[in-house]
Amino acid sequence: MAILVTPQSRILVQGITGSFGARHAQLSLDYGTQVVAGVTPGKGGQFFEHGTHKVPIFDTVEEAAKQTGATVSVVFVPPPFAADAILECNDAALDLVVAITEGIPVFDMVRVKQKMTGSKTRLIGPNCPGLVTPGEGDKSFGGCRIGIAPGYIHKKGNVGVVSRSGTLTYEAVWQLTSRGFGQSTCVGIGGDPVNGTSHLDILKMFNEDPETEAIIMIGEIGGAAEEEAAAWAGAHCKKPIAGFIAGATAPPGRRMGHAGAIVSGGKGTAAGKFEALRAAGIAIADTPSVMAETLLRHWGKL
């Protein structure tokens, strides 16, 4: 069943004619993702061609969704225009918009959050790697790959992965796959301070998903999202969870990588997050290299 997207989901790509968007649209098509439309203002009526695929390009998200039945968009639009690209999906009442763009101004994202309050459209990101629901087969082709994650490392299975970090998502997935354990859905929620979907949102979805039997949750310093998710999981989630928090050695007050990974005023520390995870009964991986091993031991698979 998976969460958020399935191999049948119909995807449109905003920014499909740019070099970055084009490259990842090609990789998604190779993976078997149902990329049914592209959106680039001024290039409506053209086509994005890759192999045997001929994807129509539209001037607007509304037109693309109406003509192709797309319900999900992935945004590869430069930072100055990305907020409006997200809001265009909201106006078109899509189910999901995945914003890959890094460097969107915080004020723009505050505006997006305000306008999307109460909307049916869910936002993943920004500054995220996207999500993957693996398909069948040795390399999980025929799945749904939205964003920039390497599809070939995934394997269909029963572990849900949620993370603020792209590279740590890939590391957790590869560790699981290498041990023969596949994934239901892997979600990179992004590391910006103002984003759409949180750890807590994804944990709730995994908890309700019958296909997901265990969870890896990867966080980092900054904010209180991991603590909130852990508190909920401790009270409501019966599935085994392993967690890792990145940035334990980061100096206070200095941003480390992600814009949201900053400890200020004594809040958002790694120590506080580890304490919250332990209190919730979540198994803690001491280093990134043992994330899968930690989950499998906690799950009783080792």
Backbone angles phi and psi of 145, in degrees to 5: -115, 115
The DSSP-derived string for 246-297 is: E-TTPPTT---SSTT---BTTBS-HHHHHHHHHHTT-EE-SSGGGHHHHHHH
Active-site residue 53, yes or no?
Answer: no
Q: How far apart are CA 154 and CA 146, in angstroms?
A: 13
Sign of the CA dihedral running 173, 275, 251, 164:
positive
DSSP-derived secondary structure letter, 90 = H
HEC profile for 161-200? EEECCHHHHHHHHHHHHHCCCCEEEEEECCCCCCCCCCHH
Whether 72 and 96 have beta carbons less than 8 Å apart is answered as yes
For residue 176, how many other CB atoms are within 10 A of its CB? 27
Close Cβ partners of 106 (under 8 Å, ≥ 6 residues apart): 192, 193, 194, 259
Integer angstrom CA distances of residue 237 from 78, 125, 133, 186, 232? 38, 24, 21, 18, 7
Backbone angles phi and psi of 153, in degrees to 5: -85, -10
Q: Residues 24, 199, 258, 298: which is the catalytic one?
A: 258
Question: Which residues carry out catalysis?
Answer: 258
